[in-house]
A and B are shown apart, each in its own frame.
Chain A
Amino acid sequence: MNSKLQELYDKYHQNLFQFLFYMVKNREQAEDLVQEVYIRVLNSYDRFEGRSSEKTWIFSIARHAALDYLRKQNRWSQRIFSAFDLTKRPILDTSPLPEEIAVQNEMIQQMYRCMDKCTVDQRSVVILRYIQSLTISETAQILGWTEGKVKTTQHRAIQVLKANMRELSEKEESIDEKIQLRR
């Protein structure tokens, strides 16, 4: 087996997988995408030659693989929604939660759903900064951005998540009240 590939696996695999899982929010899809990352690595390693750090390079491949998948998804959902003439998409995805999230407390579950409301850039930053605990400088290197852009995107992402978490908790409260009234 390719020893370089094995080395990359040892160094980055679980982080790459976790990054892709939270980007596409589906275990099977993350499994396919991480596989796709290694295929792209094998096909382009000759051309890599240290143009950026290895970590930046492999994460950038992962990010692009996730982007390709999300774009494809978006095109499909747009076609489906326009075919059914639905003007509005659901506020939040109501598909079943993956096992890892379903066993967590309600706040974590809500946050997982609210992450849908972030742009792809915002989601990338949130995953790297908070879920993977990378520093601003490491995140900037991986994304090939300035630290300023990371900070601004992070700030905006937190505002989006805060607004949606507030909205969700208010909705839940009013549902609880209605249930109590019926009783």
Chain B
Amino acid sequence: MKKFNYEDSDIENILQQMPEVRDNRKMLEILERAEKLSKKRKGLGWVMPAAASAAAILLFALISTSIFQNDRNRNTAGLNSKEDASTAAPIEKKASSTEKRFVIMPDQNFITFSITGMDQAGLIMPLNIPVSMAVEENASPAVLYTKYIDKMKNEQWGLAPLDFKNHATFSEASDANGNKTLVVDMIKNSSLGVSSAGTAFMDSLKESFRWHGYNQIEFQTQGQKGTILGNTEYTSIPLVAEGKKAYFQYIYGQDYPSFLVPSPDTYPDFSKALNAMESEQFTLQAPLHAPIPGGVDISNILIEGSHAEVKFTADSGLMDNETFVMMLDAILLSAKEFGFRTVTFSGAQNANIDQIGTIKLGMPNEVPAAPNPVQ
């Protein structure tokens, strides 16, 4: 074997030539043995629970003796009650993997940063991935943006660096009707004025702040009205929260987290957006992937004011795991883009489940505030 320069296609060809391997035993031999062993295990079925119960009783006895002993020691030593409380505090239940969500809910304070994806090959326009960080403070998004921009771990997430720091300061203003404006004050002679990075900055601003109730962005240069970004002059641009987008899964690589990203295109209605998210209809290329897996079909979408019901076919193979949490979160985010407030997921009777992660099927779920919680 003298070949050094294997290409992907060579590897795929060799794998396709791997020999078929068959089990040469007789069917009767295999199945009869399996039945025999299965009965044997069922017969012993009581042994394990009984042993486990015995072990639990023993453990309980040991722990209570030790706690009783500790209490006595503490009482005699005169330890304060705070320490007692901490020892007696119940162990917090660990969150299971299916409790994970891919969205921030409206009851949380948060700030969003829209960051360009690292892998842009094959994409017509740069992909902006909004990530949201839950914060404890009540300050305005304009203040939080500057404060938390350094906390972004772009590289670790498979996203491009955010190079806009030091080019602008952010503040907000509101008029008598309560319309909020984001004021972006650029430094003089910023390189963003003449480079394509200026356009990227504009896209990032729009995608970062549309989640936060601003009606428009006003631009200044050192306090003077107007600025130039990417060779175009701007004084103000409107911000629209409902972008009529579908949501796709963005995976930069196996070792990076998955994100939900708004589609590069807009769609005329919710139904068309969901259609674009289905695996069978998906036309885009990696790093974008369809969030609705094969084997899941939406049979109907019923709309009543700001409520939508997304009905899956009875045989849609829904499962209670992270893949399907991501699918439902993607649908909820797209519902938000079309102005819906709540969504009910129904159908998929054969799946025989009433909940996926923390999302309940068959009852209204509130749409999220923003995608991709990060820490």
A residues lining the B interface (CB < 8 Å): 1-2, 5-6, 9, 13-14, 17-18, 21-22, 27, 30-31, 34-35, 38-39, 42-43, 49-53, 56, 98, 100-101, 104, 106-108, 110-112, 126, 130-131, 133, 136-138, 140-141, 144-149, 151-153, 155-156, 158-159, 161-162, 165-166, 169-170, 172-173
Contacts and interface: CB of A to CB of B under 8 A. Distances in A.
Given A31-B23, A158-B12, A148 B258 contact: yes
A147 B251 CA distance: 11
Interface in B319-335: 319, 321, 323, 326-327
A35 B326 contact: no
Interface string B1-31: 1111111101110111111111101011011
Contacts of B280: 137
A105 to B, nearest CB: 8
B2 A169 contact: yes
B364 to A, nearest CB: 24
Contact of B21 (A22, A39, A141, A145): A22
Contacts of A35: 30, 33-34, 37
A135 to B, nearest CB: 8
B294 A6 contact: no
B79 interface: no
Given A9-B27, A162-B11, A166-B6, A141 B16 contact: no
A31 B34 contact: no
Interface string B247-275: 00101011000100000000000000000
Interface string B282-313: 10001011110111000000000000000000
B353 A156 contact: no
A29 B238 CA distance: 65
Contact of B27 (A6, A52, A106, A173): A6
Nearest to A1: B31
Given A108-B17, A126-B15, A145 B323 contact: yes
5 contacts: A2-B31, A52-B319, A137-B295, A140-B279, A156-B253
Contacts of A98: 21
A50 B295 CA distance: 13
Nearest to A53: B317
Interface residues on B, range: 35 or more
A61 to B, nearest CB: 12
A1 B39 CA distance: 13
5 shortest interchain CB distances as A-B pairs: A148-B289, A137-B294, A38-B34, A130-B15, A42-B38
Contact of A56 (B1, B25, B317): B317
Contacts of A1: 28, 31-32, 35
A14 to B, nearest CB: 6
B100 interface: no
A173 B317 contact: no
Interface in B37-88: 37-38, 41-42
Contact of A111 (B8, B14, B42, B295): B14
A147 B34 contact: no
B80 to A, nearest CB: 44
Contacts of B286: 148, 151-152, 155
A31 B30 CA distance: 9
A120 to B, nearest CB: 13
Contacts of B11: 111, 158, 161-162, 165
B312 to A, nearest CB: 13
A170 B4 contact: yes
Given A140-B294, A165-B11, A169-B1, A39 B38 contact: yes
A140 B4 CA distance: 32
A101 B20 CA distance: 10
B352 interface: yes
A130 B18 contact: yes
Contact of B4 (A17, A21, A30, A173): A173
Nearest to A107: B14
B352 A49 contact: yes
Given A2-B31, A144-B319, A166 B25 contact: no
Interface-central residue, B7, B37, B288, by most chain A CB under 10 Å: B37
